Chains A and B, each alone.
Chain A
Amino acid sequence: MDNKTLIARRVAQELKPGNLVNLGIGLPTLVASLVPREAYIFFQSENGIIGMQSVPEEGLEADDLTDAGGSPISALPGAATFDSAMSFGLIRGGHLDVTVLGGLQVDRMGRLANWSIPGSMVPGMGGAMDLVTGAKRVIVAMTHTAKGEPKIVEVCTLPITSERRVDLIVTELAVLEPSPDGLVLRELAPGVDVETVLRSTAARLIVPDQVRTMNLG
C-alpha cells in the first residue's frame, strides 16, 4: 500500500454515517473513493453541491457538473446544488461535520498552514480558511515530511490558515491529536515505531504509555 492510500484509508475510518463532509483537493479526495456508498456519507464540494460522487464513466460527463478543481463529477440521488453564498453558509454556519484538508505545516498548537509559501508559491486560500474556521471537525491528511523536512513543527513558519486548533493529523507514519497541552501521539502505522515518528517530527510530542496501531479498516 502506498503512503497516500494508507493515509486515505485511515481518514476514511473517521467518517460516520450521515456526515456532511468536505474534502480538499489532492490527497483528501482519495478518501471519497474508499467510502462505501451504503455508508450514507454526503460529500460537499464548495463550488455548490452536496452529494457529489466520483467521475462518471467516459461520455457521461456534464459540463455544468464539476468538483472544486473543475473536473467532471457525478451526483448521488438526493444531491442538492446551490450558490456560493449558501455553500459557505453551510461551511461557516456549523452545518459541516468534517473537513479533510492537505497541509504544508501543522504546529504544536495544532494550527494548520496550507495556503501560501511567500515569495515562491501564492496559490491563495480558496475555501480553506472558511473550512478550517467553520467545520465541526478538521482532519489534516498529509505526508509526514516534504523532501525530508518535517511538516510538523513547533511554530508554523508559513502563514497559518486559521487560529483554530485542528482535531486530527493523519500521516503515513502516525495519527496525532492536537490538545491544549500539545500534540499527542495516538497511533502508529503498521511497522512504524515511536522513534521513527519522533525523528521525522520537529515539534515536541506527548507520547502516552499506550500507542495503538492504526486501524485501516
Chain B
Amino acid sequence: MRKTVQADQVITRIPSGASLMIGGFMGVGSPIRLIDELVRQEINGLTVIANDTARPGVGIGKLISARLVKRVITSHIGTNPETQRQLLAGDIEVELVPQGTLAERVRAGGYGLGGFLTPTGVGTAVQEGKRTVEIEGKVFLLEMPLKADFALINARRADHIGNLTFAMTARNFNPLMAMAATIVIAEPQEIVPVGVISPDDVMTPAVLVDYLVARRRADGQ
C-alpha cells in the first residue's frame, strides 16, 4: 500500500540504468515533478517506455535533452528533433512500436498475459523478427508483453490511501502502466481524504500504488 514521499526522496530510489514506464501523451498526463527530479539528480542510462518523447523541454523531452536515456520504446519521436538527432548519431536506441501495440504490450505485461496477437504491422517493417500466427485464415503478429522496474505516472486526484482518478486525455497510458511495473510512483495533481473518490470512480486502485508524491512543499520542492 502507498507511502507518501517527496519527489526528491523517491527519485533517489531509482538507480541509473533502470527501466521506467512514464505516462503521458505529448507531455499531457506526464509526471512533471518526477521528471524534473530525474534531471536534477542526473539518473542516467535509463530505458524509457512511453508513448512519445514529446518536445524538447516538455515532459519526457527533458530526459532526452539531458541525455539520460539510452533506450526508448515508443510509438513516435517525430515531434522531438533532439531524439531524432541522437538516433541518427547512434547515441540513443529507439524501438518504434505501433501505438496500439505499445498500449496493449503494457496492458499484457500488467495483466499477466504471455503476449497477444494483432493484425497491426503484418507485412510491414514491424513484422521483422516476429512470429506470425494464422487464425481462421487471417495472419497476426505475436507481440510480447512489456514490464518495467518503475512506473512514473500522473493522476488528476489521489486519496490518502492512493486510489487514483485521471482527467480527460491525461489518462492515456497512466492506468495501464500502474499495472505493469514493479514499483509504481504516482504524482497526483491533488490529494483528497478517503471517501471523496467514490469506489465507482476509482480508475486505479490504491493497492497498485507504492509511492504517492506529496503536495509540493512551501519551499517549492
Report A's interface with B, CB cutoff 8 A.
45-49, 62-70, 75, 81-85, 87-89, 91-92, 116, 121-130, 133-134, 159-163
A125's contact among B54, B96, B104, B169, by CB below 8 Å, is which? B96
Q: Is the interface of A mostly helix, strand, loop or mixed?
A: loop
| B176–A85 CB distance below 8 A | yes
- Minimum CB–CB distance from B153 to chain A (whole Å) comes to 11
| A127–B99 CB distance below 8 A | yes
| B103–A84 CB distance below 8 A | yes
Q: How far is the CA of A92 from the CA of B120 in the complex (A)?
A: 8
| B119–A66 CB distance below 8 A | no
| A161–B124 CB distance below 8 A | yes
- Minimum CB–CB distance from B83 to chain A (whole Å) comes to 9
Check A130/B99 contact, CB under 8 A, given A47-B28, A48-B171, A85-B104.
yes
- Minimum CB–CB distance from B206 to chain A (whole Å) comes to 18
- Minimum CB–CB distance from B193 to chain A (whole Å) comes to 22
Residue contacts A-B, CB under 8 angstroms, 12 given: A62-B168, A64-B156, A84-B100, A122-B84, A124-B75, A124-B96, A126-B98, A130-B99, A133-B121, A162-B120, A162-B124, A163-B124
Check A65/B169 contact, CB under 8 A, given A84-B99, A129-B98, A130-B99.
yes
| A88–B100 CB distance below 8 A | yes
- Minimum CB–CB distance from B143 to chain A (whole Å) comes to 12
Q: How far is the CA of A127 from the CA of B167 in the complex (A)?
A: 21
Tell yes or no: B57 within 8 A of A by CB: no
Tell yes or no: B175 within 8 A of A by CB: yes
Which residue of A is nearest B103, CB measured? A84
Q: How far is the CA of A64 from the CA of B172 in the complex (A)?
A: 11
Instruction: Digitize B41-85: 1 where CB-to-A-CB distance is under 8 Å, 0 elsewhere.
Output: 000000000011011001000000000000000111111000010
A162's contact among B28, B96, B123, by CB below 8 Å, is which? B123
| B120–A65 CB distance below 8 A | no
Q: Which residues of A contact B88 (CB under 8 A)?
A: 122
Q: Which residues of A contact B106 (CB under 8 A)?
A: 85
Tell yes or no: B170 within 8 A of A by CB: yes
Check A64/B120 contact, CB under 8 A, given A88-B103, A125-B75.
no
Tell yes or no: B19 within 8 A of A by CB: no
Check A129/B78 contact, CB under 8 A, given A64-B29, A83-B172.
no
Which 4 A-B pairs give the minimum distances between C-beta atoms? A123-B78, A88-B100, A70-B26, A130-B100
Interface residue tally for chain B (C-beta within 8 Å) = 51
| A64–B28 CB distance below 8 A | yes
Which residue of B is nearest A159, CB measured? B125
Q: Which residues of A contact B166 (CB under 8 A)?
A: 83
| B75–A126 CB distance below 8 A | yes
Q: Which residues of B contact A163 (CB under 8 A)?
A: 122-124
| B124–A92 CB distance below 8 A | no
| A68–B26 CB distance below 8 A | yes
B51's contact among A49, A65, A84, by CB below 8 Å, is which? A84
Tell yes or no: B188 within 8 A of A by CB: no
Q: Which residues of B contact A92 (CB under 8 A)?
A: 100, 118-120
Which residue of B is nearest A63, CB measured? B28
B99's contact among A49, A63, A65, A88, by CB below 8 Å, is which? A88
- Minimum CB–CB distance from B68 to chain A (whole Å) comes to 20
8 A Cβ contacts from B120-150 to A: 120-126
- Minimum CB–CB distance from B218 to chain A (whole Å) comes to 23
Q: How far is the CA of A92 from the CA of B104 in the complex (A)?
A: 11
| A83–B173 CB distance below 8 A | yes
| A133–B54 CB distance below 8 A | no
Q: Which residues of B contact A68 (CB under 8 A)?
A: 25-26
Q: Which residues of B contact A89 (CB under 8 A)?
A: 100
Q: Which residues of A contact B107 (CB under 8 A)?
A: 85
Tell yes or no: B101 within 8 A of A by CB: yes
| B123–A69 CB distance below 8 A | no
Q: How far is the CA of A124 from the CA of B52 in the complex (A)?
A: 9
